[in-house]
Structure 1
């Protein structure tokens, strides 16, 4: 009895109609998935990939560099090429650049943050621990102290939004929210009229409604928080020195 061959071989000769480095990128990704390779697993050497795919080493090298730039692969000097660990960072590096180029994209990112936080706040309130509440109060006190001196509080703001959803236990969600914050903070023009005290009061209103136990009020507070930011971003001509959300 003849054994049936696998439906898809580990490697196959490639159609050269499309730019080869793009085809090789696709095939390398497919191979990683098909073989169940994990972050840190080695990939075959460049010369062997070129031979198996039937392409030049330069096409493989170009494909590997492109996959490195988005975190799929990692080259270790003197050791070889390995499967990279998952990271949002390459994606948000591109997002940062796009936000700097396109003001509309910046407003859309704020709208997305608002929708996600408002949708998840009820569940976050349900599982929030006393320890997290205490950290939120302490963080808000730091905001107030800085705001009363007319100082900004970017790191406290970042921490506030992390703490709100920390107890959901969803590490990917927290990383996504944090990368949204970082991308916005890096690309946003400072907002006219948003004084430190106004920004503090907006965060204080969110915490007050969270502690009230009323998710509907909390959703309104989050919408209000982002609505003010959206209004300041509505017209690029209005962007003047101030604060990020």
Structure 2
């Protein structure tokens, strides 16, 4: 695949960040230095920096300069949201794909944290808060974050947040939930019980059941 000059410059700036071992918050060389180093015009540098800013790789602070960003997965939210919506308008394929990847990820992460007593207590508190409609959504998101945090995989934790947020923004495509109001609490409580048993198979069944209602709504759509 042919690489454009613009992409070449983006790649060169990435190599510069890596070569100089710059970390999040560190300043990049000013535009004139980048122009000199790569032999390009100011507009080319600015376009490349805007591309990297959209990806969360750099942060442009007007009046202060350009700094290395934290490259958060949140930067992928608009494209994943667009892709999921676009592929779901005809046959809900986008939501189905998102659900499948999310289940695979969360099943394996949950299996990594079986028997964690401290985690069980925190998850139990989240489940209790799900009984109140005013706090149910926040408690639901926090429940899955806690599992990601306990698993000790920072990338997976960011993906959990990304998938959760995108799903919430696209859920309207499959209508309102069909389960009872207390269903959210019950499904998550079964995951907590499976973690407590330290049974990997039970964890897989509980996480799968957690997504069953969504799967049925997608199939019905």
TM-score, normalised relative to structure 1: 0.77
Select 2:102's aligned residue among 103, 109, 113.
Answer: 113
1:138 aligned onto 2:125:
yes
Identify if the C-alpha distance between structure 1 residues 82 and 143 changes in structure 2 by more than 3 Å, giving closer, same or farther.
Answer: closer
The alpha carbon displacement at 1:215 in A equals 2.4
Distance 1:192 1:83 in 2: 42
1:177 aligned onto 2:160:
yes
Checking the alignment, whether the CA contact within 8 Å between 2:58 and 2:71 is kept in structure 1 is: no
Residues matched between the structures, number:
214
Q: Which residue of structure 1 aligns with residue 113 of structure 2?
A: 124
Identify if the C-alpha distance between structure 1 residues 58 and 226 changes in structure 2 by more than 3 Å, giving closer, same or farther.
Answer: same
CA RMSD of aligned residues (A): 2.3
Give deviations 1:189-245, integer Å, cap 9, x for gaps.
24441332223222222222222332211211111221321221235xx3xxxxxxx
Identify if the C-alpha distance between structure 1 residues 165 and 28 changes in structure 2 by more than 3 Å, giving closer, same or farther.
Answer: closer
Checking the alignment, whether the CA contact within 8 Å between 1:111 and 1:226 is kept in structure 2 is: no
Higher helix proportion? 2
SS at match of 2:28: coil
* Consecutive unaligned residues in structure 2, runs of 5 or more: none
| Correspondence list, 1:1-245, <5 A | 19-103=4-88, 104-126=93-115, 128-129=116-117, 131-146=118-133, 153-189=136-172, 190-235=175-220, 238=221
Distance 1:116 1:23 in 2: 33
Runs of 4+, deviation exceeding 6 Å: none
Q: Which moved more, 1:207-216 or 1:17-26?
A: 17-26
* Consecutive unaligned residues in structure 1, runs of 5 or more: 1-16, 239-245
The alpha carbon displacement at 1:98 in A equals 1.9
The alpha carbon displacement at 1:87 in A equals 1.1
The alpha carbon displacement at 1:19 in A equals 4.0
